[in-house]
A and B are shown apart, each in its own frame.
Chain A
Amino acid sequence: MFKNWIYPAYARFSKPRRTQKRRGTDRGRLIQTGAVLTAILGLNTDASLIYQLFAFLFCLTLISRIGLKFHHPKISLTRNLPSYATVGEIFEYQISLTNIGNKLESDLQIRDNPLVVPPSREQFKSQKEPFEDSRNVYDRFIGFHRFIYLQRINTGIVTDQSNVPDISRHATIDTTIKAIPKRRGIVRFTSTTVLHPDPLNLNQGITQIDNPESLMILPKRYKVPSSFNLSGGRHFQPGGINAAWSIGESDEFVSLRDYRDGDSMKKIHWASTAKRNKPVVKEYQDEYFVRQALVLDTSSENTDTLEEAISLAASFTLTLNKPDSVLDLIYLSDKQEILTSGRGTDSVNKQLEALATLSRSNLGLDQLIDATLTHARLVSAYILVLSDWTKEHKRLLQCLNSAKIPIITFIITHDKSKFLNEDIDAHIMEIGEIQESLNAL
């Protein structure tokens, strides 16, 4: 109720205004607050000399503000962003500033402005800040911290204010800006602000320079242990693409072994088969490229589990992309999507970009089953990352199991204890302990 009522006020005041011309520093704010306080306490000039202090603070504030009108910096700038950044990982980038005026520019600061996206009314009402329950009653009721948190998440990146070294006239220098991405996807920068102090150094004048650009933020990734491996039934068999130097088949015979499901009839060693009275196949030097599929379920309505599922998928994408393997990423967006990387097909970055911009899919899980099963004959193993656990998901798992391909399932959940009584062959990953669970693999 209250949140509904206060929402417009937050939305209006938390957005930086384009017309803003001035910013207070900590000391400036201290002086201004002091001026207001002393104005009230000093009303009775008989009782104390606080009114004299008020006169000081008021005049200093006034002169400082007038002083801001002069000596605006004359600067042009360009931003040099990296190609990608990752959620939660601090990165640095450069802004090159050129002094286009005829005076030395000193004591400047810059801050880079991402496009601020306030939360929608619905989001503000329904989505909570992490650990919000530990905040005090007043903060919870007012919801300001929640608003700021959501706005920060929506905006996607937090950048630090940075000091600029002195720039002599017509010179160019680079300034490093530290930033931390807050969510995956594309983050847009709108402008860069150059701040200059007033002569008393109490307030800062603002010069906004339009500087639109965007940056791809990749999902958060976990460290998957190097021992993690998927067994594939068709190891030591020739596969789709040969990594051979010579033209034509150049498979190197290694040994014989028992026939397994999926082995090609062409490779049966008939002599041995006849001798042992059961099928025996020839094994070759392992030139087979491992082709695995990562199946990501994007059906969850819970943003936390969905985000974690995407992060986990991104972690596997990087781990499983070895020089001699191929990885298919299967997921649903507004249609069935299969992205293949490795061995010259496409780079893993394409898959990461897709994961970065992925959102919840409304298509039913049937579509995912369909896509996965159709693909089954091409791959040797599946990794299944589920963002939820419902009857539909159970059916998906059963269908995949029926394809008789090795499969590792991960289920993301808020509460591990729900699965205590269920008999599932899956790794249950509780939010907040995912890295620990991965280490234990």
Chain B
Amino acid sequence: MNLRYIQFFALIGWGIQSELLAFAIPIAIIWEAQFLIRHRWTLTQQDFYRTSDLTSVALIGMFIFLYLNRAEYHFLITLINWLPILIFPLVIVIAYSTTERMTLDVLFYSLRRQKQEIIQHWDMNYILFTFCIFSTATNKQDYSFYFPFSALLITLALMRIRSKRYKLSVWILLLAISFLAAFGLQKAQRESHLELKQRAQIWLTNWVQQRNNPAKYLSAIGSVGQLKVSDKILFRVHSPNNDPIPSLLQEASYDHPSGNDWSVMDANFTTIDHLDDFKWQLTNEKQVTDKGQFTNKKKAEHQLDIYLEFYNDTAIVPLPSGTTLIDDLPALEIRRNYYGTIQARGLVPSPRYKIQRQAGQNFNGPPTKIDTYVPTRFSPLISDIIDAHQLKSDEAINSLFRYFKNFRYSLYQNEAAKEKPIQYFLQTSQAGHCEYFASSTVYLLRGMGIPARYVVGYSVQEYSDLLDMYIVRQRHAHAWAIAYIDDKWQVVDTTPGIWLDEEAAQGFFAQPLFDLIANTSFMIQIWWNAQKIEDYENSLYGIGAILSLILLWRIMIGEKVIIKKEEEETTFGNSLSFGTDSPFFGLEEQLQKRGFTRGKGELLEPWLSRIGFSHLLRLLPRHNIWRFDPEGLSPEQQASLAEDVAHELDKLNEDLPRNS
């Protein structure tokens, strides 16, 4: 079958499956029209370069668009889906030009300066065909459509190139075997993928839980040497109403010490109801009264935007204490544990979420017995310290700050800290990072009989003038303690305030440059999200129309040739057909029809003599001049020959009518 029809089917099939029929139909029509329109344009290599550049710009534009809208579209799949549209300008420019194949310098900018002749070329028709089949596969509107569709197209394409070396039956048999095998293979692929996914999910869940786990926290306490911190920007915090920015964002809190790490006693989560698709109410009046520890009085609510994009399906959401409402967080489910840790599942990447919070509140569950538990290996030491430094429960927080006044912040721990890190920290080194301070603070508070928990999250400190926002880096990850004093949870962060400067000093020298890049791309994205594509729709169509008109105009003013069937023949062919309009051939035909067969290669003269029509020989010289002399006969001579021939024909009809 002709490539023309196969390509047409491929385009329409792609349009149906990808739901891009509005593009596929015009493309297919323009494609088909090339076989009906006989005009071709003689384009220069420069014109091809321009078209290729246009395609490249479109591709880059598509990249940027898809990246900025990655929350809405699947990046790669959408790109592949649109490929036929993107390469179509090149295909069509070649189709309507006098050039048949496109050399690679059109596609590759780096080859354009080369003086060596570029002989490698691609047949863009095949590439468009391949892309159509390929792009159709990216959309799974209808599972049952694709397999027979591509089988049909491949069969048609292979039929075009079938070798006559093999019998048709062999070809059909082998193709059938191929398709059956392919059917089995794709089934097996799908099944094994599902099986693998199931197994991997179990394995992955176990693995992930150790890392991103609201039930257990693995601390760096006890690790020796310099702790590495990263300057990478994790998220940004902004208050739209200029409300005070909370200095700490909590990820999770823990009540149970296990070795150097922390875990929770109650690992259960309860799902939070959502107000609408992306809005989640964390507290409500009912909950407040049930739990008892919240006041019924509505407090002033602060608003906060957190520009954090989740790339994982499941993640803990960093929140300031007292958060009552989360908005614009696209997730399937949000759940909370007893300790106020919020976990989102089925997350879709989205640039930011908004929260409302009540300042000074902390929605950790009320203290339990475990919140005053000090592991027995620490209890003698803790009691000693409390006694020696006269730490009192009635002014617990102040006395703790007093106690930690002489401690140093350090990311470095030597070998001696390996065995009993907390004891070594409290007794000997008096130097450590936030996890040491937070753990020790929890133990000391508990030693004084005050319920306390260990909390991890981020410290919000660094303000960026450029963005008018707070920036939170990876090294701003922090741990602190909360204590249940005066019937509410209060933050007790005993880590020396100098810790941020200490960690900043370790920063990479080129970090400002990276920050600039990250912040600029962030700003572009913020700007993009603020735009509504509908506002620009008309302008975009306008620009598109103007560009198309310019392209059309450039093509129209280009040199134009008309291809004719005759021109496709070679010069040799033309010289053979010269003079075939001599009227004498009509006479010859009539004679042949009356049974005077002329032998193959038999010259006219002997033939006419043989069949007894020697009186026609007088016409031969003029016929031969008409037939073979490049200068031919004059119009008068042509007319006289035609007249003579007509006369002879009449005579022939009289003497030997055809039906006789």
Interface residues of A (CB under 8 A from B): 27, 30, 34, 38, 41-56, 58-60, 62-63, 67, 71, 105-107, 129-131, 134-139, 145, 196-197, 199-201
Contacts and interface: CB of A to CB of B under 8 A. Distances in A.
B176 to A, nearest CB: 10
Contacts of A27: 126, 161
A136 B110 contact: yes
A50 B113 contact: no
Contacts of B178: 56, 59-60, 62-63, 200
Interface stretch (B186-194, B302-310, B411-419): B186-194
20 contacts: A38-B137, A42-B189, A45-B189, A49-B138, A49-B146, A50-B134, A52-B137, A55-B185, A55-B189, A56-B151, A59-B181, A63-B177, A106-B163, A134-B114, A134-B115, A136-B114, A196-B165, A197-B165, A199-B163, A199-B171
A428 B348 CA distance: 76
Given A60-B154, A199-B163, A201-B163, A52 B147 contact: yes
A30 B126 contact: yes
A199 B138 CA distance: 30
A55 B174 contact: no
B199 interface: no
B280 to A, nearest CB: 27
B564 interface: no
B162 A201 contact: yes
Interface residues of B, number: 49
Contact of B166 (A45, A63, A71, A139): A71
A199 B170 contact: yes
Nearest to B142: A49
Contacts of B401: none
A-B pairs, top 7 by smallest CB distance, nearest first, are A131-B115, A55-B186, A136-B110, A55-B185, A134-B115, A55-B182, A59-B182
A45 B193 contact: yes
Nearest to B185: A55
Nearest to A60: B178
Specify the main secondary structure of chain B where it touches its partner: helix
Nearest to B145: A49
B116 interface: yes
A137 B77 CA distance: 33
A159 to B, nearest CB: 16
B139 interface: yes
Contacts of B74: 47
Contacts of A67: 174
B143 interface: yes
A106 B151 contact: no
A136 B189 contact: no
B173 to A, nearest CB: 9
B223 interface: no
Contact of A53 (B77, B114, B116, B150): B150
Of A27, A34, A52, A105, most buried by chain B (CB within 10 Å of CB) is: A52
Given A48-B138, A51-B190, A58-B185, A106 B116 contact: no
Given A27-B161, A134-B114, A199-B171, A55 B134 contact: no
B1 interface: no
B514 interface: no
B179 interface: yes
A34 B174 CA distance: 20
A194 B140 CA distance: 45
B652 interface: no
A54 to B, nearest CB: 8
B298 to A, nearest CB: 46
Nearest to B117: A131
A107 B163 contact: yes
A200 B130 contact: no
Given A27-B161, A136-B113, A200-B178, 17 more contacts: A42-B137, A43-B193, A44-B193, A45-B190, A45-B193, A51-B190, A51-B193, A53-B134, A59-B179, A59-B181, A60-B182, A63-B178, A134-B114, A136-B110, A136-B111, A139-B110, A201-B158
A51 B186 contact: yes
Contact of A107 (B130, B134, B165, B175): B165
